[in-house]
Amino acid sequence: MLIFPNTKINIGLNITEKRADGFHNIETIFFPVSLSDILEFVETKKNTVFTNTGIVVDSSEFDNLVLKAYKLLKLDFKLPPLNIHLHKIVPLGAGLGGGSSDASFMLKALNNCFKLNLSGKELINYAQKLGSDCPFFIKNNPVFAEGTGNIFTNIELDLSSYYILLVKPDIHISTKDAFSNIKPHKPKKPLTELIKQPINKWEKIIKNDFETSIFKIYPEIKKIKDTLYDIGAIYAQLSGSGATVYGIFKNEPETNNLFKKHFLYLQKPL
Q: Catalytic site residues?
A: 8, 133
Work out the burial of residue 266: count CB atoms within 10 Å of its CB; fewer than 13 is exposed, 13-18 middle, 19 or more buried: middle
Widest Cα–Cα separation across the chain: 58
Q: How far apart are CA 119 and CA 261, in angstroms?
A: 43
263-267 and 245-249 strand pairing: unpaired
β-strand partners of 51: 85
24-36 and 143-146 strand pairing: antiparallel
Q: Which of 157, 159, 119 lies closest to 139, judged by CA?
A: 119
Q: Which of 263, 269, 264, 265 lies closest to 249, judged by CA?
A: 269
Q: How far apart are CA 102 and CA 100, in angstroms?
A: 5
Q: Which of 212, 207, 206 lies closest to 193, judged by CA?
A: 206
Q: What secondary structure letter does DSSP report for 81?
A: P
Which residue type occupies 130?
L
